Amino acid sequence: MPSYRAPKIAAAEITPERFFLDRRTFIAAAAGSLALSATKPSRAAALEASKSIYRVDEPATPEKDATTYNNFYEFGTGKGDPAANSANFKPAPWTVKVDGLVGKPREFGLEELLAFPLEERIYRMRCVEAWSMVIPWVGFPLAALLDRVEPLGSAKYVAFETVVRPEEMPGQSGYFQPLEWPYREGLRLDEARHPLTILSVGLYGKTLPNQNGAPIRLVIPWKYGFKGIKSIVRISLTETPPPCTWNLAGPNEYGFYANVNPAVDHPRWSQATENRIGEGGFFGANRRDTLPFNGYAEEVANLYAGMDLRVNF
């Protein structure tokens, strides 16, 4: 099992706008309702106490690879563009509006989001381009947020939107736009409430980098990576399936469900194998078989009982 090493961060290095790195806020969130003791336990101790059962016994992808090889078209279409072009993005202050078919619609500020009990979860992640990583996320179940707004009985789906800031996100400006903004995604309500589905505010024990979706993003490890919408500003509960950006852009290539399925190929490449980033090798030497539901079939296959997963891809 990969070891966890939280970074040592001096209080003097913590800037006010990056609330996630605020020592007191982070410990309070990670430890839940536990009061801060006079000894002021370290971030490492707080996270150690909150490590989750949701961990895979596989080496974690090197942090450098996970933070420099990304899909985030708001900053450019190249894998290195998000890291290269996101320095001017401002992830604080931040609010997430939660509305739609809920009894208590409201906006959550960043400090409120970081006050949810946080835990570390090491998940396999699989991209539709047939590459994969193993990432230690820090976050909290999406269900915990949904409980705060009390979904109505008519709510069947959850819709998500990314922020639109062309002045800070160069991929959203210019004459040619590869996608329509804002970026949109959606889940069925039972998928959204599944214990594996989290809202992440960090990775590798650190605040979530801009290129990885700061300050808050969705993580659903049994689905292809494009479902993991980043820099979320709105979550809405609906009765009908919400529009999803890649499904609209290429419905024959990107389905609404996007469950990892080695038996359903992308029209332009096979999904039967994957390339694990950071393991080295060449000419396919580090390719491995793709697992149904990305290896999480035992936990989530029951969500799709009776469905034709070739049609509902």
Q: Evaluate whether residue 215 is within a structural domain.
A: yes
Mean pLDDT throughout 220-239?
98
Q: Evaluate whether residue 8 is within a structural domain.
A: no
pLDDT band at 237 (very low <50, low <70, confident <90, very high): very high
Closest CA to 171 of 182, 184, 186: 182
- Angle at the Cα of 218 (from 217 to 221), degrees rounded to 5? 135
Q: Evaluate whether residue 271 is within a structural domain.
A: yes
Q: Evaluate whether residue 42 is within a structural domain.
A: no
Closest CA to 256 of 165, 152, 184, 171: 184
Mean pLDDT throughout 232-256?
97
Range of the domain at 292: 54-304
User: Which carries the bigger pLDDT value, residue 158 or residue 279?
Assistant: 158
Strands 198-203 and 184-188: unpaired
Could you tell me the CATH number of the domain that includes residue 230?
A: 3.90.420.10
Q: What is the pLDDT of residue 53?
A: 79
pLDDT tens profile 275-308: 999 887 545 567 899 999 999 999 999 999 999 9
Looking at the 3D structure of the chain, how many domains does it have?
Answer: 1
Q: Evaluate whether residue 28 is within a structural domain.
A: no
Strands 287-289 and 232-238: unpaired
Mean pLDDT throughout 155-180?
96
Q: What is the pLDDT of residue 286?
A: 74
Q: Evaluate whether residue 130 is within a structural domain.
A: yes
Q: What is the pLDDT of residue 243?
A: 97
Mean pLDDT across the chain, nearest whole number? 86
Question: 306 CB contacts (<8 Å, ≥6 apart)?
Answer: none
Closest CA to 213 of 221, 203, 223: 203
Q: What is the pLDDT of residue 31?
A: 37
What pTM was estimated for this model as a whole? Answer: 0.85
User: Which carries the bigger pLDDT value, residue 26 or residue 249?
Assistant: 249
Strands 273-276 and 287-289: antiparallel
pLDDT over 80 (residue 158): yes
Q: Evaluate whether residue 188 is within a structural domain.
A: yes
Helix residue ranges, H only, the chain: 23-30, 43-49, 63-66, 81-85, 110-114, 142-149, 189-192, 245-249, 297-300
What is the C-alpha to C-alpha distance for residues 100 and 158, in angstroms, rounded to an integer? 9
- Please give the C-alpha separations between residue 139 and each of 31, 70, 220, 290, in angstroms, as whole numbers: 12, 19, 12, 26
pLDDT tens profile 32-69: 322 222 223 334 434 444 667 789 999 999 999 999 99
Q: What is the pLDDT of residue 11?
A: 37
Q: Evaluate whether residue 27 is within a structural domain.
A: no
pLDDT tens profile 88-145: 999 999 999 999 999 999 999 999 999 999 999 999 999 999 999 999 999 999 999 9
pLDDT band at 82 (very low <50, low <70, confident <90, very high): very high
Mean pLDDT throughout 78-97?
98
Closest CA to 209 of 179, 182, 231, 194: 231
